[in-house]
Chain A
Amino acid sequence: MKGNEAMAEAAIRAGCRYFFGYPITPQSELLEYMAKHMAEHGGVFLQAESEVSAINMVYGAAGAGARVMTATSSPGFSLMQEGISYMAGAELPAVLVNVVRGGPGLGGLQPAQSDYFQATKGGGHGDYRLVVLAPSSPQEAADLVYEAFDVADRYRNVVLILADSILAQAMEPVELPPPRDPAGLPAKPWATVGRGRRQETNVVNSLYLAAEDLWALNQRLQAKYRRIEAEETRWEEEGAEGADWLVVAYGSMARIALAAIRQVRREDGLRVGLFRPISLWPFPARPLARRAAASRGVLVLEMSAGQMVEDVRLAVEGAVPVRFFGKTGGVVPEVEEAVEAIRRMVAETAPHPAHR
């Protein structure tokens, strides 16, 4: 299956029955898959007039208690920031997919990781966080989308799948998770479904005119974010334990990094390990810091001008040198370039010329 289709099918299997979206390359197959298959499951697909409208339809549907999803690509994700900030304020659960393409502006259609800041640092106005999950294969994308709905509901928080067009367009075998019955999902007593027999009305809202009340909301949000950090931090390693050098990469870039690491191990006999953050927020800072402290140096590889490298530097806190290599604008680093970057980093951080 194509990554885009795997994510769409996984969402349906997770009990998502509402999809509001707007076409944009390179995520359009996800939208088209939903258009084709949502009705078979008794769900609703609606093509909105804009990404602004799409995310606000998601807001309404999430507030009404539904499992709901949208997908877009970078310029569309920018347009969605208003609605995402409101969803953070109203604590609404939903799953979003951003298939990142090169920017800024209209940019291009090729893969990039240059929306990292926007995805992990807020993007819209106010103090808030999204859970950001970055798969590196169509299989992992399907698994994470499936799980993302539970995570979103558990914390009443938006979960963002940060993909790129290599992942979205790649065709690989995917083992799909079992379908879930939406009727069996946990109730949402806070949802606006009509008052019924309730005395009090349910209100979905992010307006707090008194500063003390807004402070209290923010305190609650920050406490929730600390809980998410404790419970939802995800990462994967390969050969990182006891490694002399670490390479940090996520998403499709991690697969290129792994190929480069294997080549360096084979050809140079160097002990280089991969540390792959899966949750970009919460960022796996502590496990990374632990590994980094036992190493001689860290190299961050990204399809950006250097965005995640800032989080790596914060995590490492100067314990060892942190180097960066990246290409942006949709140009994907070659394995050979990554190999050269690793060798450069090793040369600059090795205590003895013999290590060269």
Chain B
Amino acid sequence: MHPVFEPTSGLRADRVTHYCPGCTHGVAHRLVAEVLEELGVLERTVGVASVGCSVLAYEYFRVDMQEAAHGRAPAVATGIKRVLPDRVVFTYQGDGDLAAIGMAEIIHAAARGENITVVFINNANYGMTSGQMAPTTLVGQRTTTTPAGRDPVQAGYPIRVAELLNALDGPAYLARGSLHDTAHILQAKRYIRRAFQAQIEGRGFSLVELLSSCPTNWGLEPVEALAFIRDRLVPQYPLGELRRPEGVR
């Protein structure tokens, strides 16, 4: 009989994650782990966990990992990759981590064409610290620090990270996927695979932005949260590949 579902050896089966019910971090973890397993690189991968909801990622992935200070994961990954150029090095970062405090680190790692892969989880708020405004929070979106909704006059506009990095020469691969339904999850997995493929082929910096749900802090049921991604986040953050080197499939 053809197996319909099998666990990936890229995740530790003995761990229960701390993620909230309905959060798509678990899906993103699984996609990354599956891709690393399918590419046959689990044993030579070093991951970098960031600060935020994914702070415990090193507890879940079955790869060697380092924990980075808030926003500094791309610098830490740079240090690792320069020492171990034949290893696969990735960071897993949220939007508060990557697009606020760590903006300098991500832009310069991308500009250097650092041969690492960044998995960027965009859930439009600070999840770990209970739902404050992130750089990616939508105009009008209510958070604990924009209680009346984000007003651009007072709090500025959301940042489209993939497009921002697309202005640089350094990146080899840039894409934005979404985790709100099966078809998009499968598409996101293809993006993640191509991002790692680009690194393995030595083409330079790759980043996949993933629109992700935060039912707890959005104050929505899990299914409503998925609809929020589809109806609100996707129009602000268009899906697709922004840059893909020739030959990467």
Q: Which A residues contact B (CB, under 8 angstroms)? A: 18, 20, 44, 46, 48-50, 52-54, 56-66, 68, 82-83, 86, 90, 192-197, 201-207
B68 at the interface (CB under 8 A from A): yes
- A57 and B79 CA atoms in complex are apart in Å by 4
Query: Which of B55, B67, B87 meets A203, CB within 8 Å?
Result: B67
Query: Which of B46, B66, B104 meets A194, CB within 8 Å?
Result: B46
Stretch at the interface among B69-77, B150-158, B216-224: B69-77
In the complex, residue of chain B having the shortest beta-carbon distance to the beta carbon of A58: B79
Assess the B108–A192 pair: CB atoms within 8 A: no
Cβ contacts under 8 Å, A63 to chain B: 66, 76, 79-80
Q: How far is the CB of B60 from chain A (nearest CB, A)?
A: 10
B78 at the interface (CB under 8 A from A): yes
Query: Which of B42, B55, B81, B104 meets A207, CB within 8 Å?
Result: B55
In the complex, residue of chain A having the shortest beta-carbon distance to the beta carbon of B68: A56
Assess the B72–A193 pair: CB atoms within 8 A: no
B interface residues, how many (CB within 8 angstroms)? 34
Assess the A56–B69 pair: CB atoms within 8 A: yes
Apart from the given pairs A53-B105, A60-B48, A203-B65, 15 other A-B contacts in the complex at a CB distance below 8 Å = A44-B83, A52-B75, A53-B108, A56-B79, A59-B66, A60-B75, A60-B78, A60-B80, A60-B81, A63-B79, A64-B84, A192-B46, A197-B43, A203-B66, A205-B66
Given that A53-B108, A196-B43, A203-B66 are contacting pairs, would A46 and B82 also be in contact in the complex, using a CB cutoff of 8 Å?
Answer: yes
Assess the A201–B63 pair: CB atoms within 8 A: yes
Q: How far is the CB of B89 from chain A (nearest CB, A)?
A: 9
Q: Which B residues contact A (CB, under 8 angstroms)? A: 42-46, 48, 55-56, 58, 61-69, 72, 75-84, 87, 104-105, 107-108
- A83 and B72 CA atoms in complex are apart in Å by 9
Assess the A57–B69 pair: CB atoms within 8 A: no
Cβ contacts under 8 Å, A192 to chain B: 46, 64-66, 80
Assess the A48–B42 pair: CB atoms within 8 A: no
Cβ contacts under 8 Å, A46 to chain B: 78, 82
Assess the B44–A194 pair: CB atoms within 8 A: yes
Q: List 9 A-B contacts (CB under 8 A).
A: A20-B78, A44-B82, A56-B75, A60-B80, A61-B82, A63-B76, A82-B69, A205-B66, A207-B56
Assess the A204–B65 pair: CB atoms within 8 A: yes
Assess the B72–A61 pair: CB atoms within 8 A: no
Cβ contacts under 8 Å, A49 to chain B: 104-105, 107-108
Cβ contacts under 8 Å, A195 to chain B: 42-45, 62-64
- A2 and B178 CA atoms in complex are apart in Å by 56
If over half of A's interface residues share one DSSP class (helix, strand or loop), that class is named, otherwise mixed; here it is mixed
Cβ contacts under 8 Å, B42 to chain A: 195
Assess the A194–B84 pair: CB atoms within 8 A: yes
Cβ contacts under 8 Å, A204 to chain B: 65-67
- A63 and B77 CA atoms in complex are apart in Å by 10
Q: Which of B46, B56, B65, B105 has the most CB of A within 10 A?
A: B46
- A46 and B115 CA atoms in complex are apart in Å by 14
Cβ contacts under 8 Å, B56 to chain A: 207
Assess the A68–B79 pair: CB atoms within 8 A: yes
Cβ contacts under 8 Å, A203 to chain B: 58, 64-67
Given that A56-B75, A206-B67 are contacting pairs, would A201 and B62 also be in contact in the complex, using a CB cutoff of 8 Å?
Answer: yes
Q: How far is the CB of A204 from chain B (nearest CB, A)?
A: 4
Query: Which of A48, A50, A65, A205 meets B83, CB within 8 Å?
Result: A65
Q: How far is the CB of B8 from chain A (nearest CB, A)?
A: 15
Q: How far is the CB of A291 from chain B (nearest CB, A)?
A: 42
- A68 and B75 CA atoms in complex are apart in Å by 14
Cβ contacts under 8 Å, B63 to chain A: 194-195, 201
Q: How far is the CB of B94 from chain A (nearest CB, A)?
A: 15
Query: Which of A18, A50, A68, A207 meets B67, CB within 8 Å?
Result: A207
- A81 and B119 CA atoms in complex are apart in Å by 27
- A68 and B84 CA atoms in complex are apart in Å by 13
Assess the A20–B79 pair: CB atoms within 8 A: yes
Q: How far is the CB of B141 from chain A (nearest CB, A)?
A: 29
Query: Which of A83, A193, A196 meets B69, CB within 8 Å?
Result: A83
Cβ contacts under 8 Å, A62 to chain B: 79
Cβ contacts under 8 Å, B81 to chain A: 60
Cβ contacts under 8 Å, A86 to chain B: 68-69
Cβ contacts under 8 Å, A193 to chain B: 46, 64, 84, 87
Assess the A202–B79 pair: CB atoms within 8 A: no
Assess the B82–A57 pair: CB atoms within 8 A: yes
List 6 tightest A-B contacts by C-beta distance, closest first: A60-B79, A56-B75, A61-B79, A60-B76, A192-B64, A57-B79
- A18 and B85 CA atoms in complex are apart in Å by 13
Cβ contacts under 8 Å, A48 to chain B: 75, 108
Given that A61-B80, A64-B79, A192-B80 are contacting pairs, would A201 and B64 also be in contact in the complex, using a CB cutoff of 8 Å?
Answer: yes
